[in-house]
């Protein structure tokens, strides 16, 4: 998806040397705000192995801040995402889990090991080790809570946000438990799949005795190395995907589309967001046999350029009332883009990745598709009505099936010294 929605990562523009100079004149706190110097500079106390040396400060996405990173952060190349079920019934345990996760996540996003290593030869190493020597690679770690988190176990039922509804069943859903739900979701994104996997694995290790993995899904898009221009990536059906995403680098747009506020959400969610995950399997073999005209009419856009049908350039306006010489709409009314446009009145921020999970042994077909992820301020007014419309008439339905689903309340960001979830627990 398009990376035009740039987050303000001023701190990232500073080199390590510049940061040190500024620290010397006492300016660092001012410049870095909640980010803090630790996310820029690798500390190296005795016995601590740094898993990575952030040679380019632009490779660190600050972990601390008003919002969690990984939401309006421009998309990295890979995702490794896990849902956890809590095995503890103690709220104290949940609190300490989030405290430990916060510390570990702040360290790993800064390119460090999950914690300081001990030299104890008779103990397992503290960090699993596979990211040692690797750079931070714009790692972000984003935490969210599913509806099941607010059941009777922790006494938090009254705190469940109204927008965190149980998603309805949509037409032609074929949901599978192994790809759906979970008490907690952790979205890990990075420009290196090993860095992303390392982070999720170490968080799962920290959770031992308190939470277990419910599902784990991985995804990719073209890498920044194969497309240094950062043009809109293509999905596995060959079309540019993300063109008409809202420009959330504009704070007013981000507030309108993405960030929860007290109009709909409880105060503890202010600055958070609601994430929808849909695992959407594509019938790739059927798609590959359909004609170019069929494919373009399915999306309402040209395959090569990504432009709306009848237009030349990718970012040309999608004019749905344009008619051809016979009076027929140029962009078919049941095309995906026409329907998802929602008359320009309803918007979501899409942040999905392609997935490929080998082959379906029953049919011999590829098990591949879209790990659809979107963020919205209130899914009752955004994702749900949009998906209701798409599920009933979208031409794309011939080629896709939704097989996994989840809705999660992604917590507000934390400031240094605090922890993710401290507004709730």
| CA-wise closest residue to 40 among 80, 70, 67, 13 | 13
Closest CB 337 distance from ligand HEM, rounded Å? 5
Rank residues 199 and 339 by Cβ distance to ligand HEM and give the closer one.
339
SS3 for 387?
helix
Site string for ligand HEM, 298-327 (x = CB under 6 A): -x-x----------------x---------
Closest CB 347 distance from ligand HEM, rounded Å? 7
Closest CB 402 distance from ligand HEM, rounded Å? 7
Q: E strands, 44-139, where?
A: 78-86
Closest CB 256 distance from ligand HEM, rounded Å? 14
Site string for ligand HEM, 368-387 (x = CB under 6 A): -xx-x----------x--xx
| CA-wise closest residue to 407 among 206, 175, 191 | 175
Residue 19 contacts residue 10 (beta carbons within 8 Å): no
SS3 for 59?
helix
Q: Count, in order, helices (H) and strands (E) of the chain.
A: 9, 9
Closest CB 139 distance from ligand HEM, rounded Å? 25
**Piece of 5-13, 235-243, 255-263, 354-362 that binds ligand HEM (CB under 6 A):** 235-243
Alpha helices in 232-291 (DSSP H): 251-257, 284-288
Distance of CA 37 to the CA centre of its chain: 25
Closest CB 298 distance from ligand HEM, rounded Å? 9
Q: Does 403 bind ligand HEM (CB under 6 A)?
A: no
Q: Tell me which H or E stretch contains 232.
A: none
Q: Does 215 bind ligand HEM (CB under 6 A)?
A: no
Indicate the length of the chain as a whole number: 425
Q: Does 400 bind ligand HEM (CB under 6 A)?
A: yes
Kindly determine how many residues on this chain lie close enough to bind ligand HEM according to the rule CB under 6 A: 27
Site string for ligand HEM, 333-372 (x = CB under 6 A): ---xx--xx------x--------------------xx-x
Rank residues 369 and 413 by Cβ distance to ligand HEM and give the closer one.
369
CA separation, residue 130 to residues 63, 135, 211, 230, 259 (Å): 21, 12, 23, 28, 34
Closest CB 105 distance from ligand HEM, rounded Å? 28
**Residue 383 region by backbone torsions, left for phi larger than 0, else alpha for psi between -120 and 50, else beta:** alpha
Crossing angle (nearest 10°) for helices 193-206 and 91-109: 150
Pairing of strands 273-282, 365-376: antiparallel
Q: Tell me which H or E stretch contains 349.
A: strand 349-350
CA distance 221 to 356: 11
Rank residues 59 and 241 by Cβ distance to ligand HEM and give the closer one.
241
Rank residues 77 and 314 by Cβ distance to ligand HEM and give the closer one.
314
Closest CB 180 distance from ligand HEM, rounded Å? 15
Sequence-distant (6+) residues with CB within 8 A of 206 are 97, 100, 101, 104, 114
Site string for ligand HEM, 241-280 (x = CB under 6 A): xxxx---------------------------------x-x
Closest CB 254 distance from ligand HEM, rounded Å? 16
Rank residues 64 and 299 by Cβ distance to ligand HEM and give the closer one.
299
Query: Tokens at residue 286, please?
Result: 């059927």
Q: Return the residue of 12, 35, 235, 297 that touches ligand HEM, per CB under 6 A.
A: 235
Sequence-distant (6+) residues with CB within 8 A of 220 are 77, 78, 79, 193, 353, 354, 355, 356
| Binding site residues, ligand HEM, CB under 6 A | 235, 237, 239-244, 278, 280, 282, 299, 301, 318, 336-337, 340-341, 348, 369-370, 372, 383, 386-387, 390, 400
């Amino acid at each position: 998806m398009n990376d035009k929605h740039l987050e303000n990562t001023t701190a990232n523009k500073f080199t390590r040397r510049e940061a040190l100079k500024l620290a010397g004149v006492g300016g660092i706190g001012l410049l870095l705000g909640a980010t803090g110097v630790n996310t820029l500079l690798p500390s190296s106390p005795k016995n601590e192995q740094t898993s990575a040396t952030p040679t380019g400060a632009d490779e660190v996405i600050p972990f601390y801040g008003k919002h969690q990173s990984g939401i309006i952060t421009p998309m990295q190349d890979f995702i490794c995402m896990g849902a956890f079920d809590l095995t503890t019934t103690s709220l104290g345990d949940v609190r300490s889990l989030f405290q430990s996760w916060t510390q570990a996540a702040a360290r790993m996003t800064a390119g460090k090991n999950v914690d300081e290593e001990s030299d104890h030869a008779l103990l397992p190493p503290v960090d699993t080790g596979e990211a040692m020597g690797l750079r931070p690679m714009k790692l972000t770690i984003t935490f969210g809570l599913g509806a099941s988190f607010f059941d009777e176990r922790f006494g938090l039922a009254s705190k469940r946000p109204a927008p965190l509804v149980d998603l309805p069943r949509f037409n032609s859903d074929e949901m599978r438990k192994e790809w759906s739900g979970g008490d907690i979701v952790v979205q890990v994104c990075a420009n290196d799949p090993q860095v992303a996997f390392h982070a999720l694995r170490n968080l799962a290790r920290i959770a031992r005795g308190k939470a277990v993995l419910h599902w784990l899904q991985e995804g990719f898009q073209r890498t920044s190395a194969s497309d240094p221009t950062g043009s809109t990536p293509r999905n596995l059906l060959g079309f540019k995907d993300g063109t008409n995403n809202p420009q959330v680098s504009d704070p007013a747009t981000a507030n309108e589309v993405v960030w929860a506020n007290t109009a709909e959400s409880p105060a503890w969610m202010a600055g958070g967001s609601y994430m929808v995950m849909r695992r959407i399997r594509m019938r790739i073999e059927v798609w590959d046999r359909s004609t170019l005209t069929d494919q373009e009419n399915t999306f309402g856009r040209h395959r090569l350029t990504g432009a709306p049908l009848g237009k030349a350039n990718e970012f040309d306006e999608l004019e749905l009332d344009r008619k051809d010489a016979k009076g027929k709409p140029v962009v078919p009314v049941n095309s995906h883009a026409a329907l998802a446009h929602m008359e320009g009145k309803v918007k979501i921020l899409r942040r999905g990745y392609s997935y490929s999970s080998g082959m379906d042994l029953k049919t011999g077909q590829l098990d591949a598709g879209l790990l659809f992820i979107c963020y919205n301020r209130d899914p009752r007014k955004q994702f749900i009505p949009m998906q209701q419309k798409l599920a009933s008439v979208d031409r794309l339905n011939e080629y896709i099936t939704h097989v996994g689903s989840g809705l999660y309340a992604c917590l507000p960001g934390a400031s240094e010294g605090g922890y993710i979830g401290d507004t709730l627990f």
